[in-house]
Amino acid sequence: MALPGRKSLRQFQCNDTLWVTFRRMAEDQEKEVDEVISEALEAYAQLSGYQTGINALEAESQLTPPPRGHHQPAPAIPHRAPPPPPPPPVAPPRSRFARVPQPSGISSSGVSMFDGASTPPPHPHAGGAVALGFDGTPGVAPQVPVYLVFDNQKYRIDKDQFIIGRGTKSSDLPIKDGNISRKHAAVIRRNGTFFIKDLGSTNGIDFKGMRIDNKRIEEGDVFHLCDYELRFTFKR
């Protein structure tokens, strides 16, 4: 499945036999040829260990050089004094009373350390958050799904990418309307948080009267794809 995002025209030379294969694949999968090629390039990049998608765009923006004429001063290197020598060991004072060992899990005051939760409970909408058990071992909180209400039906979304569009084979929620693009929008999950993302559609996504490219999904958010309403909730 091709990554969402802005598309730009690229030119390259392709073997004629390979191009015929891409066209057959596109016809069988109800896709455009450029989308099949993009998916093939994406798969090859990931197989070679390169980063793709939103993280790759963020990494590329961080590598953008500063504008010409801008001189960024070199960071000053602080002077560090040598560390002081460690203090000599001091023998603990001797006590007339022997210390009685306490059972495991019981403090010296006699109150159980397990009477209350050792860590605060996770946020009800935080999926994949790391929590610590009583024994200190890390655990993963369960993923919380989001629910999409469309045409009086409720769809449970608990996957990393949920496609909405006109294509019956390429969409998780197909909408048979000529004004809806074949791959119109996607609900994307990143680190337990859900976003809605425009996939380069013609008519876009409307939120409160404004066209948006992407937005984090909050409880009760309502989006419009042309004349169709998409309502999201985290409640069952």
Q: How far apart are CA 218 and CA 146, in angstroms?
A: 10
Taken as a whole, the chain contains a residue count of: 236
Q: How far apart are CA 46 and CA 86, in angstroms?
A: 50
24-52 pLDDT, tens digit per residue, is 887 777 777 777 788 888 888 778 877 77
Residue 199 has what pLDDT? 95
* E runs forming strands in 104-217: 130-132, 138-140, 146-150, 153-157, 161-165, 173-174, 185-190, 193-198, 205-207, 210-212, 214-216
For the residues 136-165, what does the mean pLDDT come to?
83
Q: How far apart are CA 182 and CA 32, in angstroms?
A: 10
Handedness of CA 41, 43, 49, 52 (dihedral sign): positive
| pLDDT of 201 strictly over 60 | yes
Mean pLDDT rounded to a whole number for the chain: 74
> Under 8 Å CB-to-CB from 188, ≥6 apart: which residues?
4, 160, 161, 162, 194, 195, 196, 197
DSSP H stretches of helix in the chain: 16-29, 33-47, 54-62
| pLDDT of 12 strictly over 80 | no
Residue 43 has what pLDDT? 81
Q: What confidence category does residue 184 fall into, taking pLDDT thresholds of 50, 70 and 90?
A: very high
75-129 pLDDT, tens digit per residue, is 666 666 677 777 777 666 665 544 545 444 444 334 333 344 433 344 444 444 4
Q: What confidence category does residue 146 fall into, taking pLDDT thresholds of 50, 70 and 90?
A: very high
For the residues 10-23, what does the mean pLDDT come to?
81
64 touches 58 (CB < 8 A) = no
